[in-house]
Structure 1
Amino acid sequence: MRFLVDAQLPPALARMLTAHGHQAEHVADIGPVDVSDRELWLYALDRGAVLVTKDEDFPAMLALGGDGPAIVWIRVGNTRRQALIAWFEPLIGTVVATIEAGNGLVELR
């Protein structure tokens, strides 16, 4: 599966997804991190990437209907990079299965 990790999440999350056999980029890998939500949305959509974000604007955009990328919405508070990775890593299989089952939004708490 292909993932695009949003700017407010660490690049290490993309690297961990890659280590698990997925294609993953962090927004910093593709250009300036201050890219607009719309540009990031279209980038993910054009490349068939799942957008991994903490930004509630993306689920709201998805709710409006139309074409959009699948979204993994991380709803945990601020945490250290290492703790976030340790929390997210065991959820990868569930995230992938949920998206492959046709769900466009995976909310993780």
Structure 2
Amino acid sequence: MDAQLPLALAEWLRAQGHTADHVFELLSVDAPDQAIWALAQDQNRIIVTKDRDFAIWAADRRSGPQVVWLRLGNATRRMLMEWLEPKWL
């Protein structure tokens, strides 16, 4: 999960039975997108993001991690969860 999403989303995904970590749990707070991409690729992880760059990278490259691009504008944590929950399950 990238830096633009709350840690609570990783916690929610874990509560749903998924293995999930927030980027802040794995890399430094200021880790560049390339480091996040490399980590996901090396560890066979999926990137859940609001960052369009990851979606572009995934579309342009033949190999690499899967990307779930959440296309939602600025939202509170509660708004994000209310928007995402019915779509995720």
- TM band (smaller chain): over 0.9
| Alpha-carbon distance in 2 for matches of 1:12, 1:31 | 17
Indicate which of 23, 28, 33 corresponds to 1:27: 23
Count residues with an aligned counterpart: 89
Q: CA RMSD in A?
A: 1.1
Q: Residue 14 of structure 2 is aligned with which of 11, 18, 29?
A: 18
Deviates more, 1:59-68 or 1:75-84: 59-68
Could you tell me which runs of 5 or more consecutive residues in structure 1 were left unpaired when the two chains were aligned. 94-109
Q: Which runs of 5+ in 2 are unaligned?
A: none
What TM-score results when the alignment is normalised by the length of structure 1? 0.76
For normalisation by structure 2, the TM-score amounts to 0.92
Tell me if 1:86 matches 2:82.
yes
- CA drift of 1:88 comes to 1.0
Q: How far did 1:35 drift? A: 0.7
1:13: how far off? 0.4
> In structure 1, how many angstroms separate the alpha carbons of the residues matched to 2:48 and 2:83?
14
Distance 1:33 1:71 in 2: 20
> Match of 2:58, as an amino acid?
L
Cα distance in 2 for residues equivalent to 1:45 and 1:91: 25
Q: Please state which structure has a larger fraction of its residues in strand.
A: 1
Query: Identity of aligned pairs, percent?
Result: 45
The one-letter amino acid paired with 1:51 is I
